[in-house]
């Protein structure tokens, strides 16, 4: 009887191990779907690529932002878009009186720039569907005689 119990125990242990290591037939589909759904906001500034986890919020407009660091290492890019955004290329403007209908950008790159508004550039919305919004961007501006230029920006965020 002891041998029978040992055999049964080992059989169940092997079965449990085999079952836990198996995956469903569509796991590769799930993995590729997760990769395609990865959220990001990235851009190039002064020759260096920065990649942040994005945050998305809505109020009177849609805000897509990414940041890192604190104090003198704080970096942030904020893309402000109308709630009724549309696929296509949109010119970045600085006009607080039309915040709900224009595409605007603010930029921080401490210690040089703190919450500075871009005065030119583009936000190109390339995809809007039920799950996500994707696009590209570039912009520039000046503060106290110093110019900043951000290139090769892109983002993928969930649609709220």
Produce one character per residue of 46-84: b if its CB has 16 or more CB atoms within 10 Å, e if not: eeeebebebebeeeebbbbbbbeeeeeeebbbbbbbbee
Return the pLDDT at 20. Answer: 36
Query: What does DSSP assign to residue 101?
Result: T
Question: In this model, does residue 82 exceed pLDDT 60?
Answer: yes
Q: Which residues pair with 105 in a beta bridge?
A: 79
Mean pLDDT computed over 90-114:
91
pLDDT grade for 37, boundaries at 50, 70 and 90: low
Answer yes or no: pTM beyond 0.85. no
Q: Quickly state the pLDDT bin for 95 (edges 50, 70, 90).
A: confident
Does the pLDDT of residue 28 top 50, yes or no? Answer: no
Nearest alpha carbon to residue 139 among 108, 106, 113, 109: 106
Measured CA to CA, the distance from residue 22 to residue 84 in angstroms comes to 45
Q: Please say if the pLDDT value at position 83 is more than 50.
A: yes
């Amino acid at each position: 009887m002891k041998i029978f119990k040992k055999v049964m125990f080992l059989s169940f242990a092997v079965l449990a191990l085999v079952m836990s290591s198996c995956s469903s037939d569509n796991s590769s589909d799930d993995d590729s779907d997760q990769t395609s759904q990865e959220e990001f906001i990235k851009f190039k500034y002064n020759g260096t690529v920065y990649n942040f986890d994005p945050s998305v919020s809505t109020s009177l407009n849609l805000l897509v932002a990414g940041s890192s660091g604190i104090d003198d290492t704080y970096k942030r890019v904020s893309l402000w878009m109308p709630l009724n955004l549309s696929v296509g290329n949109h010119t970045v403007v600085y006009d607080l009186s039309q915040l709900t209908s224009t595409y605007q950008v603010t930029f921080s790159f401490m210690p040089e720039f703190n919450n500075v508004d871009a005065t030119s550039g583009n936000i190109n919305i390339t995809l809007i569907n039920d799950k996500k919004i994707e696009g590209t961007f570039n912009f520039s501006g000046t503060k106290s005689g110093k110019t900043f230029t951000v290139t090769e920006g892109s983002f993928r965020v969930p649609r709220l």
